[in-house]
Amino acid sequence: MAPGIAGVYRVARADIGLGRWAEAQALLDALPAGSPHSSLLQAELAFVRGDFAQAEDHARAALGQVAGPAREGFLFRLAEIELYRGRFTAAREHAHAGLVIARAAADRTRICRWNNLLGEIEYFSGNVDAAAGLVDRALTELEAMPEHERDQTLLAGLLQNTALVRGASGDWRAALRRQQQAVRGAALWRHACERYDRRTVAVDRLVDQLLVCLAYDRH
């Protein structure tokens, strides 16, 4: 996939996360029709607009356009949408396929991310014990990494999910401890984010877009 196209998709996803759907739509219109990232961006926009069936259709179409290890990110988004729609069997199948790719790459963070998603799938399927095992394994592996290598967003999600499954199992003491850890981590993250001036964020995004446009023009 051309770097420029992937870059446009990344900026558009940031726009969606910030509620700038019109800007994301404009970037989508600039992408080649029928490209995998174009289809996935259509899925993102359909999802935030509440059309979950269409979001799944677009995500599935995007996945069908890629092969090999490049499928991993597309598998993850499709599995998330399927989980949200309660399609647990399909979500589990796609999550396991993604986990195989992450294991082949020996990427510990990606493996933890997939196990966390599989834990969520099992939890909402009603398999609380299986969910606890998956989430505990992912959290243990992530916490074993050097601190500077830990994905803090993933860590926060794992702490929340650990609290959730422990509470569902009746282990309220462990649930409270993990919840408190998650709250402390979120407070530290918020403090770090508040150190950035809004103008700096705006400039960073402008520079990012300019770099994307330059890369896109070359491909």
Q: What is the pLDDT of residues 139-184, one digit of tens each?
A: 999 999 998 999 988 998 999 888 888 888 787 777 677 777 666 6
Q: Do residues 56 and 85 make contact, with C-beta atoms less than 8 angstroms apart?
A: yes
pLDDT higher than 50, residue 198: no
Q: The pTM is what?
A: 0.79
- What's the confidence (pLDDT) of residue 139? 95
Q: What is the pLDDT of residues 108-149, one digit of tens each?
A: 999 999 999 999 999 999 999 999 999 999 999 999 999 899
- What's the confidence (pLDDT) of residue 46? 93
Residues 6 or more apart whose CB falls under 8 angstroms from that of 94 comprise: 75, 78, 79, 82
From CA 56, how far away is CA 74, in angstroms rounded?
11
Tokens 């992912």 found at? 138
Q: What is the pLDDT of residues 79-90, one digit of tens each?
A: 999 999 999 999
Mean pLDDT of 23-37: 85
Q: Do residues 155 and 185 make contact, with C-beta atoms less than 8 angstroms apart?
A: yes
Tokens 């014990």 found at? 129
Tokens 């933890």 found at? 112
Which amino acid type is present at position 218?
Answer: R
- What's the confidence (pLDDT) of residue 40? 92
Q: What is the pLDDT of residues 54-68, one digit of tens each?
A: 999 999 999 999 999
Mean pLDDT of 190-216: 45
Residues 6 or more apart whose CB falls under 8 angstroms from that of 49 comprise: 21
The CATH number, out of the four listed (1.10.10.10, 1.10.260.40, 1.25.40.10, 3.40.50.1450), of the domain defined by the range 3-150+204-217: 1.25.40.10
- What's the confidence (pLDDT) of residue 202? 47
Which amino acid type is present at position 105?
Answer: A
Q: Do residues 3 and 219 make contact, with C-beta atoms less than 8 angstroms apart?
A: yes
Instruction: For the chain, give every domain's residue range.
Output: 3-150+204-217
170: left (phi over 0), alpha (psi -120 to 50) or beta: left
